[in-house]
Amino acid sequence: MISTKERIKLVIADDHPLFRRGLKNAFSETSDIEVIAEAENGDELLNKIKGLDLSIVLMDVAMPGIHGLDLLKKIREEYPKTPVLVLTVYPEEHYAVRFFKAGASGFIHKESSTDLIYAAVRKVARGGKFASPEITEKLAFDFGKTDRPLHENLSDREHQVFMMLAEGESPTEIGKKLSLSVKTISTHRSRILEKMQMKKNAELIHYAISNRLLQ
């Protein structure tokens, strides 16, 4: 029997209650992983983990409030010793490298088997890194490449705004969600269009769909 001290203490953050429940039930079948808290958005996650004795955060990247790279960076800044395993429905090949650069310890797709999720949690909780073989290869060989896809040349903030524009959100809506002025969002949009060698939002949307960037 594994003692309480030896158990991996996990916090799950996902905005879908049924998915959280499914994960919690799955982890309850293990003897070494214990879910000690849940959160349904980024702000709640940041509040929940204050003062907690935890081993790892397992979080979705597309939740209401602070999310994605901003949330990951905030956790790394405030809790540098807490490893974060990113769980997502987005295509690994387009997002994993960016999240690893921002400090994630692992990146795994939501459709992965429970055994693979168990393995990822255990490896990351012990201080390791977890990624699929395809992403490991991409991490090893991509950093020196100059012929990257256009969207990989965007900064993290530009990439975030690009994705929101591609999902049909207006500069006003994006500004509210990111707590930025419409003018700032418009400036980001101009830089994105320039870097992507495009002239209008419709081209951004077409690019995102063609490159399978949208879930």
- pLDDT score of 192: 93
Tokens for 129, please give them. Answer: 């890194």
pLDDT of residue 39: 95
Question: For all residues of the chain together, what is the average pLDDT?
Answer: 87
Q: Are 196 and 151 in contact (CB under 8 A)?
A: yes
Amino acid 102 reads A
pLDDT per residue over 164-175, tens digit each?
999 899 999 999
Q: Is residue 64 scored above 70 in pLDDT?
A: yes
111 has pLDDT over 90: no
2 pLDDT more than 60: no
Q: How many angstroms separate the CA atoms of 144 and 65, rounded?
A: 34
Determine the Cα–Cα distance for residues 209 and 70; give it in Å rounded to an integer: 24
pLDDT at residue 145 in the model: 54
Q: So what CATH class is 4-142?
A: alpha beta
pLDDT band at 95 (very low <50, low <70, confident <90, very high): confident
The verdict on domain 150-210 having CATH code 3.40.50.1970 is no
User: Can you give the pTM of this predicted structure?
Assistant: 0.71
Domain residue ranges in the chain: 4-142, 150-210
Residue 157 has pLDDT above 60, yes or no: yes
d(CA 177, CA 196): 23
Flag the least confident range among 51-55, 75-79, 104-108, 130-134.
Answer: 130-134
Distances from the Cα of 64 to the Cαs of 8, 104, 141, 154, in angstroms?
A: 27, 20, 34, 23
Report which of residues 176 and 132 the model is more confident about: 176
